[in-house]
Homo-oligomer: A and B are copies of this chain.
Amino acid sequence: MMDRVTVLTGGVGGAKLVLGLCHALPADNITAIVNTGDDFTHLGLAVSPDIDTLLYTLAGKANPVQGWGRADESWNFMEAVRSLGGVDWFALGDGDLALHVLRTQRLRQGEALSAIVAGFAASWGIRARILPMSDDPVATRVMTDAGEIDFQHYFVKLRCAPKVRQIRFAGAQAARGAPGVVEALRDERSRAIVIAPSNPFLSVDPILAVPSIRQALLETRVPVVAVSPVVGGEAVKGPTAKIMREMELEVSACTVARHYGELLDGMLVDARDPPTSLDVPEARADTLMKTLEDRIRVARAALELADSLRKVR
Residues of A within 8 A of B (CB): 43-45, 70, 73-74, 76-77, 79-81, 83-86, 93-99, 101-102, 104-105, 108, 119-120, 123-124
Contacts and interface: CB of A to CB of B under 8 A. Distances in A.
B124 A101 contact: no
Contacts of A74: 74, 76, 94
Contact of A84 (B45, B77, B84, B99): B99
The DSSP consensus for interface residues of chain A is helix
Contacts of A96: 80
- Chain B CB within 10 Å — which of A79, A85, A95, A96 has the most? A95
B120 A98 contact: no
Contact of A81 (B44, B84, B101, B108): B101
Contacts of A73: 76
Contact of A95 (B70, B77, B99, B119): B77
18 contacts: A44-B104, A44-B108, A70-B80, A73-B76, A74-B74, A74-B94, A77-B94, A77-B97, A80-B96, A80-B97, A81-B101, A81-B102, A84-B98, A84-B99, A84-B102, A84-B123, A97-B101, A101-B101
A120 B86 CA distance: 10
Given A74-B76, A79-B95, A98-B80, A85 B44 contact: no
* This chain: copies in complex: 2
A101 B77 CA distance: 10
A116 B98 CA distance: 24
Contact of A123 (B43, B83, B101): B83
A108 to B, nearest CB: 6
Contacts of A124: 83-84
Contacts of A123: 83-85
A24 B101 CA distance: 41
A109 to B, nearest CB: 8
Contact of A76 (B81, B85, B95, B119): B95
A93 B73 CA distance: 14
A119 B84 CA distance: 8
Contact of A101 (B45, B76, B102): B45
Nearest to A96: B80
Nearest to A82: B98
A96 B101 CA distance: 14
Contacts of A81: 98, 101-102
